[in-house]
Structure 1
Amino acid sequence: MNKSLKQSPVVPAGFGPGALAMAIANPGALGTIEAYIGAVNRLPVLTADQETSLARRYQETEDLGAARELVLSHLRLVVAIARQYLGYGLPHADLIQEGNVGLMKAVKRFDPERGVRLVSFAIHWVKAEIHEYILKNWKLVKVATTKAQRKLFFNLRSMKKDSRSLTPDQVTEIATALNVRPQDVTDMEVRLSGQDMALEGRGTDDGETDFAPIAYLSDEGQHEPTQVLEGRRRDELHGVGLHSALDALDDRSRRIIEARWLKDEGGLTLQELASEFGVSAERIRQIEARAMVKMRGALAEYA
Structure 2
Amino acid sequence: MTSTTQTTALAAATASQWPALPALGNLDAYISAVNRMPMLTPEEEQAYARRLRDHNDVEAAGRLVMSHLRVVVAVSRQYLGYGLPQGDLIQEGNIGLMKAVRRFDPDQGVRLVSYALHWIKAEIHEYILKNWRMVKVATTKAQRKLFFNLRSLKNELKAEHAMTDGESYRSALTDAEIDQMADQLKVKREEVIEMETRLAGGDVLLDPTPSDDDSAYLAPIAYLSDHSQEPTAVLESRERDALASTGIEKALDTLDDRSRRIVQERWLNVNDDGSGGMTLHELASEYGVSAERIRQIEAAAMKKMRKAMTAEPAAA
Q: What's the secondary structure of 1:160's corresponding residue?
A: helix
Q: What's the secondary structure of 1:155's corresponding residue?
A: helix
Residue aligning to 1:120: 114
Scaled by the length of structure 2, the TM-score of the pair is 0.63
Match for residue 195 of structure 1 among 192, 202, 213: 202
Structure with the largest fraction of helix: 2
CA distance in 2, matches of 1:71, 1:81: 15
CA distance in 1, matches of 2:172, 2:62: 47
| One-letter amino acid matched to 2:175 | P
Residue aligning to 1:56: 50
Question: What is the deviation of 1:80?
Answer: 0.8
The percent identity for this pair of structures is 55
Aligned pairs for 1:29-68 within 5 A: 30-68=24-62
What are the Cα deviations for residues 225-282 of structure 1, in whole angstroms up to 9, with x where unaligned?
9959x99xxxxxxxxxxxxxxxxxxxxxxxxxxxxxxxxx99xxxxxxxxxxxxxxxx
What are the Cα deviations for residues 124-179 of structure 1, in whole angstroms up to 9, with x where unaligned?
00111111111111112211111111100100001012461111111111111111
1:156 aligns with 2:161: no
Residues 173, 223 of structure 1: CA spacing in aligned structure 2 closer, same or farther, 3 A cutoff?
Answer: same
CA distance in 2, matches of 1:194, 1:142: 13
What are the Cα deviations for residues 5-27 of structure 1, in whole angstroms up to 9, with x where unaligned?
112315545554xx2xxxxxxxx
Question: What is the deviation of 1:220?
Answer: 2.9
1:7 aligns with 2:9: no
CA distance in 1, matches of 2:101, 2:91: 16
Question: What is the deviation of 1:219?
Answer: 3.2
Aligned pairs for 1:1-303 within 5 A: 1=3, 2=6, 3-9=8-14, 10-16=16-22, 19=23, 30-161=24-155, 162=158, 164-202=171-209, 211=216, 212-224=219-231
Question: What is the deviation of 1:213?
Answer: 3.7
CA distance in 2, matches of 1:200, 1:119: 45
C-alpha contact (below 8 Å) 2:101/2:116 kept by paired residues:
yes
CA distance in 2, matches of 1:104, 1:225: 51
What are the Cα deviations for residues 72-117 of structure 1, in whole angstroms up to 9, with x where unaligned?
1111111111111111111111111111111001001100011100
Question: What is the deviation of 1:198?
Answer: 2.9
Question: What is the deviation of 1:209?
Answer: 10
Cα RMSD (Å) of the superposition? 2.9
Residues 31, 203 of structure 1: CA spacing in aligned structure 2 closer, same or farther, 3 A cutoff?
Answer: farther
C-alpha contact (below 8 Å) 2:227/2:233 kept by paired residues:
no
CA distance in 2, matches of 1:218, 1:75: 48
